[in-house]
Chain A
Amino acid sequence: MSINNIDFPIEQRNTGKGQPNAILHTGRPLNNRQQKLLEQLPGYDSQIIVPKKSVNMKDLSALTAETGDEFALFTKGRERLIIRGNSNSVNIDMTKAKELAEQGYKWSGHTHPGITALIMQASDGDYAILDCFDQQYSVIHNSKGEYRTFERR
């Protein structure tokens, strides 16, 4: 057994806290960091900018598992913009996407609430938004933390 395992006993590891699948299926809570993010994103179209290291796409899956809402993540340098949607959309149209692209953001990804593989099917709108950014790929995560990649047309 390694020192790390002694220092972090089983009850402090693998608790499922903050894990999308555990939040969804066993009602485990968000972790503290995710909970703070959610508190800053109280409803539809709320947005926050946070340091890059403080959020990743798995966190967005966890937020989607907790709320049933879509979230979109954009990255510029060392900062990330998170935008909360509702159960079937995020308030990003072509104009807004082009504005974000002009500001230097990349579209890191977004979530689709649900647990099936098919829920990660890209929409016409997803492809159209990706076309607005100077990048080839983006990802769609479901509420379990699974993801698919889609590419620029």
Chain B
Amino acid sequence: MCKLFNQWESEIKDYCNKNNLDFDKVKTSPKCWGKNDIWIQHTTGEKGQKGLLDETPAPIILMISEKNGHLEFEQTEYTQHYLAV
């Protein structure tokens, strides 16, 4: 599990609750992270079958980053479609 996600979990849950997003889905979705940010992604089994022969990016459904000691959340064009409660 992503350590940053564990560290930020309660704030992410608060954000999801306030914005009617499915926290459980956020928690279980694939994650890709850097030093101070996490991207929550959506994947499907079928699209991945070609492995590294098809590097079409998996959609980012929520971006979470830490700036000046605070978490910032950025929704994408896919957020409501995949995460709306």
- Separation in Å of the B54 CB from the closest CB of chain A? 5
B-contact bits for A81-112, CB 8 A (1 contact / 0 none) = 00001001111111011000000000000101
Contact of A150 among B32, B51, B53 (CB under 8 A): B32
Of all chain B residues, the one with the shortest Cβ separation from A119 is B57
Chain B residues lying within 8 Å of A90, measured Cβ to Cβ, are 52-53
Contact of A72 among B34, B48, B52 (CB under 8 A): B52
Answer yes or no: B50 CB below 8 A from chain A CBs: yes
The size of the chain B interface, using a CB distance under 8 A, is 25
- Cα A72 to Cα B55 with chains together (Å): 13
Chain B residues lying within 8 Å of A117, measured Cβ to Cβ, are 34
User: Is the CB–CB distance between B30 and A125 below 8 Å?
Assistant: no
B interface: dominant SS: mixed
A-contact bits for B44-76, CB 8 A (1 contact / 0 none) = 110111111111111010000000000000000
- Cα A140 to Cα B46 with chains together (Å): 21
User: Is the CB–CB distance between A148 and B33 below 8 Å?
Assistant: yes
Chain B residues lying within 8 Å of A91, measured Cβ to Cβ, are 52-53
B-contact bits for A104-131, CB 8 A (1 contact / 0 none) = 0000001010000110111111111100
Chain B residues lying within 8 Å of A140, measured Cβ to Cβ, are 32
- Cα A124 to Cα B53 with chains together (Å): 11
User: Is the CB–CB distance between B32 and A120 below 8 Å?
Assistant: yes
- Cα A82 to Cα B49 with chains together (Å): 22
Chain A residues lying within 8 Å of B55, measured Cβ to Cβ, are 70, 88-89, 112, 123, 125-126
Given A148-B32, A151-B2, CB of A127 within 8 Å of CB of B54: no
Given A148-B34, A150-B32, A153-B30, CB of A125 within 8 Å of CB of B51: yes
Tell me the A residues contacting B by CB distance below 8 Å. Answer: 70, 72, 85, 88-94, 96-97, 110, 112, 117-118, 120-129, 140, 146-151, 153
